[in-house]
Structure 1
């Protein structure tokens, strides 16, 4: 039976803290150096975990992130609480001195299955400039190998903007050499510290997605594009004989939800419009009933080119990019050059 994204998300990303030692060029959170006293407590987090367990079927994947989640001294308790409730649990840490072999061993012992690392380029010149701390690239390679040695699934996340796009072929080769299970290519949205002038032009995005679609056909790991749901259209245009998907792309509020460190629930970490707060309303209720979330799942509510696009049911455009540029979550996606006129 197809997963009904109106009732349960595929993925929940949970920012358990906004504290982080890095200063990344594109950070959507504008991470801070010290923890916010208003963060959700362990007891509050456990209540949300019980709601997820009891009211989302199938259970979504939970990804605990930040900031840097290792800045919380109770992170192991959070991970244990998630695993003990039967939830598939992953961690997306920053590569800092906090991320030691002993920490990885402890995560493995409590039942974490997957760890994702951000590596934005195949060299220190690209990655360290992007992440804002010299030495981060080599440290990330060492951590990636330690993750693999311990039997975790490894996902590498690569942010794409004008500074990193030319390195994608080499980055794909590095991901192969690291033995990743998944390579997630994120197209930067101009929110947080990310600037509009750093984002790819719509035409460059389409060219890059076409390259990615071709590359994915022979890649020895799963390849996904994030903040670029038009990847569905580009794949159909690029790969001969590919069948049109029967389900919509996972995007903001449509198979995905984001919880911030104070309990606000967003359709995406890159779309800073809240549908509610878990301190007042259960996550399951927010996801299913919030007017914001409901509207984002309605292809007929889309405006501009997205509203008339023949691919709106399987794409829908990046709602985060629409909001960042137009200030309207339902506006057309400024990162996509396609229009219905092009199809005539």
Structure 2
């Protein structure tokens, strides 16, 4: 996740003070942020769901006792944050017991929900539980969102949830996945964020997992992506200048860091060097390193988009052992610095701050974990590709629509 507001606030402070602010990075190592799909059951069947969730029970989900045991291991391993997700986590009967235990253990505890099940009573219960943050998915204006979520009335229910939580003083955020089906609604959602006094906006690029892989033919065209990010950056910049506490972040396309650096360079080139240092320290894609996923059955994945790639089960080995094990070729490559990426990603001048972008897209398109990310929207000149390198690499890996006839691609792990 790229914290756009954090970096633009630093640039705004540099403009005011004449010197770039010192890093406030904390000391010591910590475990990854863990996104935990406590249940796969969901009352929606969204077009871009990486979990392929539906409204029925899924046998074999972790019990409360198992969840508690895993949480103790996570805390001992230094995991700072738990994001409780689904499916729809509010459909899990012991969700609030799990949240209470997580808070007792000292985790920053967030809730990721579609919001449609939050009425006044549920909003009060969420507020009483004192979640640190609640993220609610809104993927467009009313008609667009309802088509995305495949439920008439979903938009109104989710918007009402935001208002109810806001009235209870709960820190909330909008989560938006950008595709060519809903890109036209992005400006309206930024206005909605301000109108409803929402604290955070999470702009997610489409990643190729679950239904998101099936619908990858609807990934936003590169120029539309750039236009959307221009608007996002400008909005965040104006908020930074005004001292607003609203936060804007992006995820699932680490080329955003390079594009942000170029955006600042065109407007305030004197701050490019220190900003680049910050972005290199951030390190780009965090799969397998700074972010982890545990699914509803207790299987560990490098992140939520790798549900088709199991690393091991917490029923067989503690998370800490699974996460530290580099015998798996994907995990070894993800933890290697620099990562063993190939193609134009390896030749890119922004490789140090992007980390080779999202490996899932490369694998889903080519079968090769370390091929170039076909979702990078920067052209060869922008990434500093020499004429010789461009000729040697030939054409880019194309973005191909999903085909059921080629839905199973062998995974090549060798470098």
| TM-score between the two structures when normalised by the length of structure 1 | 0.92
Cα distance in structure 2, aligned partners of 1:212 and 1:180: 15
Contact 1:190–1:199 (8 Å) recurs in 2: no
SS of the equivalent of 1:331 reads coil
Residue 9 (structure 2) aligns with: none
Cα distance in structure 2, aligned partners of 1:306 and 1:6: 28
2:184 maps to 1:146? no
2:75 maps to 1:76? no
2:317 maps to 1:274? no
2:252 maps to 1:227? yes
2:70 maps to 1:61? no
Cα distance in structure 2, aligned partners of 1:172 and 1:262: 36
Task: Report the Cα offset of residue 267 of structure 1.
Answer: 1.5
Describe the shift of the 1:228–1:305 C-alpha distance in structure 2 as closer, same or farther (beyond 3 A).
Answer: same
SS of the equivalent of 2:321 reads helix
Task: Report the Cα offset of residue 214 of structure 1.
Answer: 2.5
Task: Report the Cα offset of residue 17 of structure 1.
Answer: 0.6
Deviation per CA, 1:190-249, whole angstroms, max 9, x where unpaired?
321121211123443334333322322124411111101111000010113341022212
Residue 327 (structure 1) aligns with: 367
Describe the shift of the 1:238–1:203 C-alpha distance in structure 2 as closer, same or farther (beyond 3 A).
Answer: same
Deviation per CA, 1:22-73, whole angstroms, max 9, x where unpaired?
12111111102112121011111111111121111xx422111111011111
Contact 2:112–2:134 (8 Å) recurs in 1: yes
Cα distance in structure 2, aligned partners of 1:328 and 1:201: 23
Residue 257 (structure 1) aligns with: 292
Contact 2:109–2:133 (8 Å) recurs in 1: yes
Task: Say which one has the larger Rg.
Answer: 2
Residue 207 (structure 2) aligns with: 189
Cα distance in structure 1, aligned partners of 2:170 and 2:342: 42
Contact 2:119–2:164 (8 Å) recurs in 1: no
Contact 2:299–2:310 (8 Å) recurs in 1: yes
Residue 12 (structure 2) aligns with: none
Describe the shift of the 1:201–1:327 C-alpha distance in structure 2 as closer, same or farther (beyond 3 A).
Answer: farther
Contact 2:46–2:148 (8 Å) recurs in 1: yes
Cα distance in structure 1, aligned partners of 2:221 and 2:335: 26
Residue 283 (structure 1) aligns with: 319
Q: Unaligned 5+ residue runs, structure 2?
A: 1-23, 387-415
The match for 1:135 among 128, 150, 153 is 153
Q: Unaligned 5+ residue runs, structure 1?
A: none
| TM-score between the two structures when normalised by the length of structure 2 | 0.77
Task: Report the Cα offset of residue 135 of structure 1.
Answer: 0.8
The match for 1:295 among 317, 333, 357 is 333
Task: Report the Cα offset of residue 102 of structure 1.
Answer: 2.3
Cα distance in structure 2, aligned partners of 1:129 and 1:332: 32
Residue 345 (structure 2) aligns with: 306
Two-structure CA RMSD over aligned residues (Å): 2.1
Task: Report the Cα offset of residue 7 of structure 1.
Answer: 5.1
SS of the equivalent of 1:183 reads strand
Higher share of residues assigned helix: 2
Task: Report the Cα offset of residue 253 of structure 1.
Answer: 1.8
